[in-house]
Amino acid sequence: MTKPPLDILLCAPRGFCAGVVRAIDAVEKALAIHGAPVYVRHEIVHNKYVVESLRRKGAVFVRELDEIPDTEAPVIFSAHGVPKSVPEAAAARNFLAIDATCPLVTKVHREAQVHYKRGRRIILIGHAGHPEVVGTMGQLPEGVVTLVETVADVLALEPAEPDNLAFVTQTTLSVDDTQEVVDALKGRFPSIAGPHKEDICYATTNRQGAVKRVAPQVDAMIVVGSPNSSNSQRLREVAEREGCGLVRLILRAEDIDWSLFGNLRSLGVTAGASAPEVLVEEIIDAFAARYAVTVESVSTADESVFFPLPRELREQAAE
């Protein structure tokens, strides 16, 4: 039988960002220098495929440092950042600690610390329990940072010093949702201080921009990524908001529910910042087995950002 035609619009940019590349490279470089095992606190990035690939190479993932035996092996902190208590605990045990926190997350940490030194109380816009939020709040003493997720949270705020506030944001949020919360903060607290440059990272912004372009043009959209990936979930939400009737967040081709994708003429495909391109290709190949596929790339931004490896690994490689 003749395959039905299917036009695939492939979002660009998509997939790995510079911070994710740096974090994965940090684990692989540590393995190359020191051999296995290399311990990693939490998932280095939120993608099961990536984590399992690194595990096969000798990375050992733990939730907390107390799961690690006394060792001379490297201990790597994930791209999401960690509270100050974590490197302090690592130093107390003489671990060879390597911080793979994304530099754009570190920027948010520094902003919060500067505001605190200037005597301000800090509002953090983010998702409760996300590792990045836990790490950012953990840069400062307990009670200094207040987390808000929604406009309703902002309206419920009763700060002790309403004229002495600052805000920072998680880097992987929805650009539109975050702007609504920022507008609400500025409306309630006109003197609130904010970042000089947007905290939401370039990769999150660019990937959401590409989805906004593609989603209204297609019958369905697939976001390649893991369910626990914040930026991937935000891409799904953006596609839905832009009017695409069928949007699914999918990790692997084997996860596709083909009963949902029966009568397509057009499909949009993007990938979260922690999803490797091999998974995008796998999903396109799965559709190509069932449809006569044509693929068109829809580009909305050029990316050339590069972050060097963590200093500890650069020094070790030089030695």
Dihedral (Cα; 136, 142, 145, 147), 10-degree rounding: 80
Q: CB under 8 Å to 310, separation ≥6 — which residues?
A: 22, 26, 98, 99, 100
Task: Please report the sign of the dihedral spanned by the C-alpha atoms of residue 115, residue 87, residue 99, residue 200.
Answer: negative
CB 14 within 8 A of CB 225: no
Q: Does the annotation count 240 as an active-site position? A: no
DSSP alpha helices (H): ranges in 138-174? 151-155
Nearest in space to 300 (alpha carbons), one of 238, 224, 208: 208
CB 162 within 8 A of CB 153: no
With 0-12 CB in 10 A as exposed, 13-18 as middle and 19+ as buried, what is 157?
middle
Active-site option among 111, 132, 237, 242? 132
Cα-Cα end-to-end distance for the chain: 62
In sequence order, which residues have a C-beta less than 8 Å from that of residue 81 and are 6 or more positions away? 101, 102, 105, 106, 109, 131, 132, 135, 136
Q: Do you know the residue count of the chain?
A: 319
Report the alpha-carbon distance of residue 39 to residue 60 in Å, rounded.
Answer: 5
Which positions are annotated as active-site residues?
Answer: 132
